[in-house]
Structure 1
């Protein structure tokens, strides 16, 4: 299956299709999923000359890795202040540092291999949807500055147009440590880098089943088979029946994007003057940015079945107009959707199942860089199983309650969070 049509697919670097698996092969490690998690795992294993095979059912970067908004952000879905209240200041500091390490790792890989993906240290802006949200952002800003010497800065509503020309918000917070990139070109470049070190990647190769025969994992595909000592599942929002424990622990959530026609440079620069990556503070947030060719990209509209429709994209276009009313008559030239992977506690998770399967998932919309770090950590765990674990690796994975009635539970949760967005 080809990449779905998107701005990123239409502006992707030249790349060749990889072959599908049509034989039986053996490896030290087999990796299911050709997104950032799986590709990073392969890259870091191949650096140490460990024989690894990546099995991707469509194309490298076909899922969220090639369809996201290209926002390489620090932090997690919960704020650092929230994390500190839950686990303490030391844990919050370690988790914050790990998220920054993820960004530095992306930068290191891009520079080392000359990946052309428009990587830019533009920073991000959290736009306060309500005055109370501004106060919460300020609390987070003050906490990080006092306890970690981590510098962010606040923008009051009277100065909002220095960051975004919209009347919808009440100021916000700038984090200058974040980046932007072309997400699909990063995925393609990461795949090339992994292959240059010896990793083998098969596309158009869905895994039909995985069984464990003694100490060996055996994966069956429509045209071949892989046997390996280690199995890695890195499918995130596209995790399906290969592993029941993982399927029951991740919530696939659809998110949808629209992109305008190219705007006059002056207009694009006025709407988002500093080219920040922007997200607001609603539970069902809007996220938006300028693209390198002077378009405005905006994503939103949570959906739990992942099915695209005219109604959904009209809703996202209405969100765009709510933020920027002057774009009412701008043509929408691209629109697409995809699945994110959420967990019950809104944290990413990494670990090993009882049968030995390695996994990382649940990035909750913050996976552009942390997934690359997760791949490195999985590789380390394969190579050094007795190594001490960081705080991120110690968070236990929990199954979603009422999994059998998940559709009902998610529908109720949606209504609840929309209520909160409206009144709080």
Structure 2
């Protein structure tokens, strides 16, 4: 699904004029990828007095940063603290727990500091339980996370109905730190902030290759030569063969969404009256929000069809009115999707495969908040912060096991998971 079908491009402010690379350049830091991660790194580096340029293969925000659901969820998708401890070890456990739980606050602070107009609202995120077993697991894990400062609150049926208007969910968990942004507005605002600080941002500047010689990196960018002491690769789910093994270290998942034209209040009815965002505990999650302009957004998980195109929209078209009955019969004007990068351990990865080469990716569906954290930490590393002082461990690039069968069999696997999800969901209502 092409990005022009996204609501975000329709409602975002105009982008800064695109700049194309016209000649050879020499820099302190070259950043590959013009999304949240790359632009956040560029902003920090430029403010530190570093000569830095961002090279984006398309236009700014073309990838996940312009195609995501805009939910700011302050939580890694690892189920329990023990899972995070197992993934990163004792040295990094507390750092990553604190960093992830603070990530939403950090993003809203950044938006306020740079006065980015992106419909930011920190009104809370509600995760509803699709069945009793999911409720028991979610509550046990939430209690464990609360011991580390998560501040999750438990909701019973009356509060779930009052705060969400969703049907089929008897319980849920509220994170008051969560919220929402208009993601294309945010990435364009971050672009302007980075340029204002002195960073160069180039659109339609595909990095075709790079090699290290005599202590410097030499990049082939749209037929021009770029020389840099340090390269940051911030391509996440759109990673290619530029860095050996990086593409195959994550599993690409397709997040799909749809949105209505502005609706009357009577058409929206009881849906999310206080401005919360919502998602659920199914394997193939649903997520939804209402926009300040009156549009309703509803999303889920899709897949690439073998013959081309994106599958899964028929699923969420069925789910939306079942979840929110007042949406029965509304016209879904926009449909779009984008890649989510999953890691096997469900935590973001920071790699340094060669001297002066730093890569950060793998947000596992929590990218709106965590990508900005990663961008900041990549910049700190490029500025000389010791690797051992970062909240993310520096790890080797390892292949995602059984990646190709999962990519090729995504449609069948998701059909099975959806059937199981629906059986569990319906049995609890």
Normalized against structure 2, the TM-score is what? Answer: 0.90
Change (3 A) 1:75 1:15: same
Query: Structure 1 residues 342 and 226 mapped into 2: Cα distance closer, same or farther (>3 Å)?
Result: same
Q: Give the aligned partner of residue 139 of structure 1.
A: 140
After TM superposition, the structure 1 = structure 2 runs for residues 308-327 of structure 1, keeping only pairs within 5 Å, are 308-309=309-310, 312-327=312-327
- What is the match of residue 39 of structure 1? 39
Provide the aligned C-alpha RMSD in A: 2.5
Q: Identify if the C-alpha distance between structure 1 residues 326 and 371 changes in structure 2 by more than 3 Å, giving closer, same or farther.
A: same
The answer to whether the Cα contact below 8 Å between 1:41 and 1:378 also exists between their aligned partners in 2 is yes
| Conservation of the 8 A alpha-carbon contact between 1:122 and 1:179 | yes
How far apart in 1 are the matches of 2:382 and 2:167?
51
Runs of 4+ in 1 over 4 A off after TM superposition: 87-93, 304-307, 394-397, 403-406, 408-420
Taking the TM superposition and a 5 Å limit, the aligned residue runs for 1:15-54 are 15-54=15-54
Q: CA deviation at 1:101?
A: 3.3
Q: What is the aligned partner in structure 2 of residue 110 from structure 1?
A: 111
CA distance in 2, matches of 1:270, 1:160: 11
Question: Structure 1 stretch 272-281 or stretch 86-95: which is displaced more?
Answer: 86-95
Cα distance between partner residues in 2 of 1:314 and 1:423: 18
Higher mean alpha-carbon deviation, 229-238 vs 97-106, is at 97-106
Deviation per CA, 1:333-362: give whole Å up to 9, x if none: 111111111112222111311354211111
Residue range with higher mean Cα deviation, 257-266 or 189-198? 257-266
Q: Would the aligned equivalents of 2:97 and 2:148 in 1 still touch at CA under 8 Å?
A: no
Name the CA distance, whole Å, in 1 between partners of 2:252 and 2:415. Answer: 17
SS in structure 1 at match of 2:111? helix
Deviation, 1:125, is 0.3
Distance 2:305 2:211 in 1: 29
Sort the Cα spacing of 1:338 and 1:173 in 2 relative to 1 into closer, same or farther, 3 A: same
Change in Cα spacing, 1:159 to 1:3, as seen in structure 2 (3 Å) is: closer
Distance 2:330 2:136 in 1: 34
Aligned ranges 1:21-420 → 2 under 5 Å:
21-83=21-83, 86=86, 93-145=94-146, 147-268=147-268, 270-304=270-304, 307-309=308-310, 312-354=312-354, 356-394=356-394, 397-403=397-403, 405=405, 407-408=407-408, 414=414, 417-418=417-418
Q: Verify the 8 A CA contact 1:36 1:371 in the aligned structure 2.
A: yes
Secondary structure of the structure 2 residue equivalent to 1:231: strand
Q: Is the 8 A contact 1:154 1:172 kept in 2?
A: yes
Cα 1:111–1:315 change in 2 (3 A) is same
Q: Structure 1: any 5+ residue segments left out of the alignment?
A: none
For 2:402 and 2:144, the matched residues in 1 are separated by: 36
| Distance in 1 between residues matched to 2:180 and 2:317, nearest whole Å | 22
- Alignment: residue pair count: 421
